[in-house]
């Protein structure tokens, strides 16, 4: 006899919300999120193009919402540059989350270039675990993911339940495409990471991020040469 999965009231509500917000504007989604979840609403961003667009909307709707940035110790200089430009522009509440181990301590314990020998462990130590700690105490999480970024993200919903962190996860830009993101950046003259002008389409830690060849998907420059497409903070 096949087991039948029981859909909880919470799951049912989240599915209905995802359906409701699928055709609604970013502002509508953020206004609902802020009204329902403030002060336990938080956004995460490494200040990529999507994060900049989402932040611009958020700062008009709920400017006191904290923004968590994962300072891995391996970020590009250009990433820190755009972070400071955005702070100057929006004066937002920034939370910098860091790993328990410094880069040097990690190298002593796990060896040099852990990002090459065991990238999953490196991501867990420098991203997944610090983010879990930073998200503690919040019950709703805003992120700038889009379905068109890669096959791993193709099925994300505007509103989901994030089981790992036991919280609601909200993707206001889920249905946007890359051209919409950049049209918005240009129209509103928003700061953006200068690496986008040098062949990068998705920007993470410098050891695991490269330029993207024409015709490849946007995240193909991440962990190039491997099957890995996600660090684990959003999708396992």
**In 70-171, alpha helices (H):** 77-90, 103-110, 114-117, 119-123, 129-135
Catalytic residue list contains 231 = yes
Helices and strands of the chain, counted as H and E runs = 9, 6
Q: Do 130 and 232 touch, CB atoms closer than 8 A?
A: no
The one catalytic residue among 122, 205, 208, 231: 231
Q: What is the DSSP string of 189-201?
A: T----GGGGGT-S
Q: Distances from the Cα of 230 to the Cαs of 74, 122, 151, in angstroms? A: 16, 12, 11
Please report the sign of the dihedral spanned by the C-alpha atoms of residue 154, residue 181, residue 175, residue 29: positive
Q: Do 199 and 206 touch, CB atoms closer than 8 A?
A: no
Total Cβ atoms within 10 A of residue 75? 19
Total Cβ atoms within 10 A of residue 146? 22
The tokens 């860091």 sit on which residue? 98
Catalytic residues: 231
């Amino acid at each position: 006899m096949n087991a039948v999965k029981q859909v909880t009231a919470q799951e049912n509500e989240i599915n209905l919300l995802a359906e409701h917000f699928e055709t609604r504007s970013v502002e509508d989604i953020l206004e609902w999120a802020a009204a329902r979840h403030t002060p336990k609403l938080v956004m995460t961003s490494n200040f990529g193009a999507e994060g900049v667009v989402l932040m611009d909307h958020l700062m008009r709707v709920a400017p006191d919402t904290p923004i968590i940035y994962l300072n891995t110790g391996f970020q590009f200089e250009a990433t820190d540059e755009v972070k400071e430009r955005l702070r100057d522009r929006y004066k937002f509440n920034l939370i910098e989350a860091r790993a328990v181990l410094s880069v040097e301590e990690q190298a002593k314990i796990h060896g040099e270039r852990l990002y090459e020998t065991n990238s999953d462990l490196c991501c867990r130590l420098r991203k997944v675990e610090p983010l879990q700690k930073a998200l503690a105490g919040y019950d709703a999480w805003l992120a700038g993911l889009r379905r068109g970024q890669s096959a791993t993200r193709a099925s994300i919903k505007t509103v989901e339940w994030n089981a790992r962190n036991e919280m609601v996860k909200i993707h206001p830009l889920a249905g946007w495409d890359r051209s919409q993101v950049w049209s918005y950046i240009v129209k509103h003259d928003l700061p953006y990471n200068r690496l986008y002008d040098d062949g990068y389409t998705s920007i993470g830690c410098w050891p695991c991020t490269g330029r993207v060849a024409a015709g490849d998907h946007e995240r193909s420059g991440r962990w190039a040469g491997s099957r890995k497409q996600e660090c684990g903070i959003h999708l396992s």
